[in-house]
Amino acid sequence: MAQTTPFPVRVGVVVDMDSYVGQMGLSCITLALSDFYDKHAYYQTRLLLNTRDSKNDVVGAAAAALDLLKNVEVQAIIGPLSSGQANFMINLGDKAHVPIITFSATSPSLLSIRSPYFVRAALSDSSQVQTIGAIVQAFGWREVVPIYVENEFGGGIMPFLDDVLEQVNVHIPYRSVISPLATDDQIVAELYKLMTMQTRVFIVHMLIDLGSRLFTKAKQLGMMSEDSVWIITDGMTYDLDSIDHSVMEAMQGVIGVRPHIPKTEELDNFTIRYKKELRQNNPTAPGLGLNIFGLWAYDSAVALALAVEKARVRNATFLNANISITSTDLEGFGVSGVGTELIQALSRTTFRGLAGDFKLVDGQLQSPPYQVVNVIGQGARVVGYWTKENGIVRELNFAKSTTNTYSTFKSNIGTIIWPGDKTSPPKGWVIPTNGKKLKIGVPVKDGFSEFMHVTWDSNNSIEVVGYCKDVFDMVINALPYGVQYEYIPFATSHHNTAGSYNDLVYQVYQGKFDAVVGDVTIVANRSQYVDFTLPYTESGVSMVVAIKDDRRKKAWVFLKPLTWELWLTSFCSFVFMGFLVWILEHRINEDFRGPRWQQVGMIFWFAFSTMVFAHKERVISNLSRFMLIIWFLVVLILTQSYTASLTSMLTVQELQPTITDVNELIRKRENVGYQKGSFVFGLLKSMNFDESKLFAYNSPEEMDALFRKGSANHGIVAAFDEIPYMKLFLAKHCSKYIMVGPTYKTDGFGFVFPMGSPLVPDISRAILNVTEGKKMMEIEKTWFGDNTKCPDSSSLSSSNSLGLESFWGLFMIVGIAGVSAFTIYVIRFLHQNWHAVHSSDAEATLGSKSLELLRRFNNRDLTCHTFKNTELRENHNSSRSCDCERRAVKSSNHNKHLQPSPSTLSHNSPSNNGSPSPVSSSYEGHNVCIRVERDGEDLNGTEHGIELVSPTKNRQLASTSADLMHETQ
């Protein structure tokens, strides 16, 4: 029996007995130990609770802890409830080496004590600030006002909240601090102060008692409207189920954050048992529910019981300290002998508790995922979650993800009913009743009024119009909060400009203006004193010159589209293609035969006629057809490219500038212009322009007048200015001037703000959104008109002649195809005629053999299908056959014998109006037959017939051929 009796371990519990959290915590601790030892009856230790009432006071909590340490010598203390009470108690536990375990003191400031004997079995308030920052970032609110209680609990979260909001670029313009003992009138006075401000995003961090009163008064003052956003921390969301119905009515549309507690069977059973015991012990008590502080109290007791058993605490006592006679009660206690082993065992204790996983890291309970809830009706509805790995998500996925992408998209949050029963997110700002207006400085100038123009009426009130002003107004309207401002001209009492643009920008540095709006260029020397937003116009400085009349030089413009290399290559290609087709067609095509000069003319005619596809000659060889297919493609590309280039040149010829080189202006000491008051004057001086050659103008009209004067009459030949000004000038005078030359880099127009202004990043982002929309194009069209009819000076670069480098691939294809076709033809010709050359006289020289091949090349190829088809047609049309072996045809008018010619004769007779009189014959060594027709009548075998008796009468044929032709005619 002695061996099985558990060892009692004294443990202190310090709670506020009068508070509901204290009563709930003590009940949960008692139930936890009862449940734990019922399951672990074999454990050798038992926790023995010693309860003390802190009386909701810091001194009371300290006195209770001192009593437990000095008189009871407890080995651990569970409590206290509040962060303010915990400060002193933690120091006492550190001195006595006794673990102090709190389940409700959540202030992050307790970490500054850095005691190894302090264990927080609850979540620190700092663990929820990232969830709040993600919500603010998701909806794009740029300013928030925290409202918190003025004590350790309220102020401890602020440094962490500031850091998180700064990371997401959210500004805190004001902090509303309310005393925990504040009256209703004091709360109303603070709310009235908030109503005078424009920010309507409020983060409330206080406990349920004070928070209920705050929302009740906010509802009465009309601050729970559709323009407002109210976010509550877990200090209030823990107790939403126990809030009075009237308070819940006032909190409709509020969103809050709270730790995610997994739903388990053990939690459900304990909740039922707790409520049952609460009704039995306090039948008259209000029906307050179980919140997370009770669950943390339960898990704290379980963790301590496990740690005591692991540390093998047996009859633990305090070691007496060196106490003098003058020692106070604070020094009159010893040191726990098992404190070090107990705190080590407690830090290694892990288990699955009612509130989730219990795991301590550096004495702190690890943060679980957080819920985002929306107060609707008499409860709170979960609309999303936040995790460290994935940010805001619609549903929790406890499976390990391989991507772990952190996001803060509001689309991941479910539908929220906002204050005022609205589903669309509030802007989070309103126009304040007494807000300060920004003083916006604007330039006063005579010309280029499309950018900014200021006028005064008889009452000395001003009107500001212009492109820059409209862009700024549109950008301010795109901000997620309101900005009040007024335009103030930078002018003298006589309504004249008060200085240059540099002077205007310097006014912001001196604090006389809060910002500058106008055609102010972003340059390096100005950025040393002020901050610029992103540019909202095109950047760069360019040159404008007059257009010269170049009509007299257009006579030979048709030669300019192609370079001389391309012209020469094209000519040679045409000749090469004509000669190659002549070679391929000469032996088989009558169109490519005839006298020598006729054939030379045919080569050039056929080749160049393909350029306009006007050739009428029919090609027969497949090699020729193959070559022409490739050649037609090349010709088509060349002609189309030439046409396009010539069209472009004829257009650009109308836009030829008088000068294109800046160095030529400097070398010739020509007069150039610049806009008065612009930084371009300094740019021209840095480019080594003579200052005496620089002329200022105030408007596009003055610039045009200086151009018309010319350099000889104190005018200008070129003007330098920023591209927006030049485009405006060209829109009015595009027929006379053109923008040429290089563009000198600048950053365009920007809005000016003081150094470090929080408005700069927000306005820069708004500029990006605005410039990408259609509204920007509408503003530009309103002030600058439609300048699409004016040609772009960049088209000058397109007037360059086409060179051989653009078409060498085409010519290479033609050359390869032509050489291949010629090689194939030569091989076939030699194969067909090599036997005749080889069988000739063996003593024949190479030259004679070559002449023989050339002679055969010059003759017709009667084996070709074209000649065969011709012979068949002639025989078919003949009325009688002609025996060419031995037959003689006699003529009634002549008794002369003819020797046949080696070639076929064909003539046109004048007497029959050009109708053909074919003469058929055979080659030498064979008898021939000649068929003669006259007016369609076959003369063979008639009295006009002719007989060629033998090849031995060649000489007679030569003498009588003329008579034959005369007779047939």
Contact 886, 927 (CB under 8 A): yes
How far is the C-alpha of 188 from the C-alpha of 888, rounded, in Å? Answer: 142
Q: Check whether the bond before 80 is cis (ω within 30° of 0).
A: yes
How far is the C-alpha of 637 from the C-alpha of 199, rounded, in Å? Answer: 68
Q: How would you write 913-927 as a 3-class SS string?
A: CCCECCECCCCCCCC
| Residue 557 backbone zone (phi > 0: left; psi -120 to 50: alpha; other: beta) | alpha
CA dihedral for 513, 514, 520, 522, sign (positive or negative): positive
Can you tell me which residue has the tokens 């600048």?
746
Beta strand 145-149 with 176-178 is: parallel
Q: What is the pLDDT of residue 936?
A: 41
The residue type of 44 is Q
Averages of pLDDT over each 10 residues, the chain, 969 residues: 73 90 91 92 92 90 90 90 87 90 89 86 91 92 92 89 90 91 93 88 92 93 91 89 87 93 90 83 66 92 93 79 57 80 92 91 89 90 91 78 74 90 86 74 87 87 91 88 87 87 92 92 89 89 80 65 82 83 77 76 76 70 81 82 77 66 87 88 89 89 88 86 87 82 82 87 88 83 68 48 77 85 83 69 69 75 65 49 37 39 39 41 41 43 41 42 41
CA dihedral for 689, 693, 699, 705, sign (positive or negative): negative
Contact 54, 322 (CB under 8 A): no
Tell me the pLDDT tens digit for each residue of 708-730.
888 778 889 999 998 888 888 88
Q: Which two tokens stand for residue 657?
A: 């500038």
Q: What is the pLDDT of residue 664?
A: 87
Contact 120, 145 (CB under 8 A): no
Tell me the pLDDT tens digit for each residue of 902-938.
433 333 433 344 434 444 443 344 444 444 444 444 4
List the helix and strand counts (H, then E) for the chain: 28, 33
Strand partners, 722: 541
Q: What is the pLDDT of residue 471?
A: 93
Best CA proximity match to 951, nearest among 901, 877, 881: 901
Question: Torsions phi, psi of 818, nearest 5?
Answer: -65, -45
How far is the C-alpha of 774 from the C-alpha of 296, rounded, in Å? Answer: 57
Beta strand 672-675 with 752-754 is: unpaired
Give the pTM: 0.60
Q: How would you write 808-858 as a 3-class SS string?
A: HHHHHHHHHHHHHHHHHHHHHHHHHHHHHHHCCCCCCCHHHHHHHHHHHHH
Residues 6+ apart with CB under 8 A from 342: 75, 76, 99, 307, 308, 311, 313, 336
Strand partners, 497: 491
Contact 918, 874 (CB under 8 A): yes
Contact 655, 738 (CB under 8 A): yes
- DSSP track, 38-106: HH-TT-SEEEEEEEEE-TT-HHHHHHHHHHIIIII--SEEE--SSHHHHHHHHHHHHHHT--EEESS--
Task: Report the residue count for the chain.
Answer: 969
Can you tell me which residue has the tokens 């700002």?
429
Contact 175, 146 (CB under 8 A): yes
Question: Torsions phi, psi of 265, nearest 5?
Answer: -70, -35
The torsion defined by the Cα of 753, 757, 760 and 763, in degrees rounded to 10, comes to -90
The torsion defined by the Cα of 455, 460, 463 and 468, in degrees rounded to 10, comes to 70
CA dihedral for 167, 169, 174, 180, sign (positive or negative): negative
Residue 263 has a CB neighbour count (10 Å cut-off) of 7
Q: Give CA separation, 887 vs 881, 896, 921, in Å.
A: 11, 15, 13
Residues 6+ apart with CB under 8 A from 470: 779, 782, 783
The torsion defined by the Cα of 765, 768, 769 and 775, in degrees rounded to 10, comes to 140
**Helix axis angle, 774-784 relative to 723-733, nearest 10°?**
50
